[in-house]
A and B are shown apart, each in its own frame.
Chain A
Amino acid sequence: MTALDVPPTKPRKPNSRKRSAEAWSWAFMRLSGLALVFLALVHFSITHIVNDVVDTDYDFVLDRWHNPAWRLFDWLLLVLALGHGVNGLRWIVDDYVRRPGPRKAVKGVLYSLTAVLVVVGTLTILAFPTRPR
C-alpha cells in the first residue's frame, strides 16, 4: 500500500503542538542561517584570510576581546552555530536512527554535548580578562 492508497476521508493530523514546534524549527534554521552567513564568514575571514592563523594567538584575542562588541559577536556566533548545528543533526538523527530507543539515546547525547559546549563557550568569553596582562 502506498501513501496514495490511503483513503482521503480521515487525513492523519499531526499533533498540532509538535507541528508548530517544527514550524519554529524551520524558521529558526532560516533566520540563524542568514545570520551565520555574516557571522561565520566574517569570523573565518578575520582568523584565516586577513590574519594568518598563527598570528591569532592569546595576545590577538586580548586585543580583540578588549572590545565588548567582539565578545558579543563571538557569543552570537557560538550560540547560533551550535543551535543551527544541533537542529540540523536532530533532523539527520531522525532520518537514520529509526528505532525509538536508540533515537532517544543519540539525541540525549547530542543535546547534553551541546549544552556543555554552550556553557564552556560562554564561560570562556565571560571569564576572559578585560585588561591586558
Chain B
Amino acid sequence: MSPASTRYKGKSGQWAFLGHRITGFLVFLFLLLHIVDVSLLRWPATYDQVHRLYGNVMLRLFEVGLLFALVFHTFNGLRIVAVDLFPDAVRNQRRLFQAVIAITLLMGIPGGIVILWPFIDGHLL
C-alpha cells in the first residue's frame, strides 16, 4: 500500500474524502447486518425477539451514529454531484463543505434526540 495513492492536497477536500470513505464503509457494514436481521421475518417470533434489541440504549446510540453517517454521506455525496455538474462550484468548495457539516449537525442532533427520547424521558434504562 502506498500512502501517496490516497493522499490529496489536504484541508477540507482531504477531510471530505476521508469522511465520505469512512461513513460509506460504516453504512455498508450496517447494511450487511440489517439484511440479515430482516431475513428473520421468516420466523416472526425470532424476528420480534431480535428486533427488540434495537430499542436498547446501546443500540439506540448506534442508530444515532448511523444517522450521522448517513446524513453526512448523503450531503457530501450531493456536494460531489454539484461539483461534477457545475465545475465552477469548486471555487466555493470550502463553503460547500461547511454546509455539509452544518446540515449533518442540523439533521443529526434533533434526529438523535428523537431516537434517544425514550431513554432521555426515563422510560428506558
Contact = CB atoms under 8 A, between A and B. Distances in A.
B79 to A, nearest CB: 11
A61 interface: yes
B100 interface: no
Contacts of B117: 52
Given A53-B115, A124-B38, A124-B42, A85 B70 contact: no
A120 B39 contact: yes
Nearest to A91: B21
Contact of B28 (A49, A61, A89): A89
A4 interface: no
Given A30-B84, A89-B28, A127 B111 contact: no
Nearest to A81: B31
Given A85-B31, A88-B28, A127-B42, A49 B115 contact: yes
Interface in B1-52: 1-2, 5-6, 21, 24-25, 27-28, 31-32, 35-36, 38-39, 41-42, 44, 47-48, 51-52
Interface residues of A, number: 38
Nearest to A34: B81
Interface in A58-72: 58, 61
A82 B27 CA distance: 10
B39 to A, nearest CB: 5
Contacts, number: 93
Contacts of B115: 48-49, 53
B55 interface: yes
B27 A85 contact: yes
A58 B31 contact: no
Interface in A1-54: 30, 33-34, 36-37, 40-41, 44, 48-49, 52-54
B41 to A, nearest CB: 6
A133 B44 contact: yes
Interface of B: 1-2, 5-6, 21, 24-25, 27-28, 31-32, 35-36, 38-39, 41-42, 44, 47-48, 51-52, 54-55, 60, 63, 66-67, 70-71, 74, 77-78, 81, 84, 111, 114-115, 117-118
Interface of A: 30, 33-34, 36-37, 40-41, 44, 48-49, 52-54, 56-58, 61, 78, 81-82, 85-86, 88-89, 92, 95-98, 113, 117, 120-121, 123-124, 127-128, 133
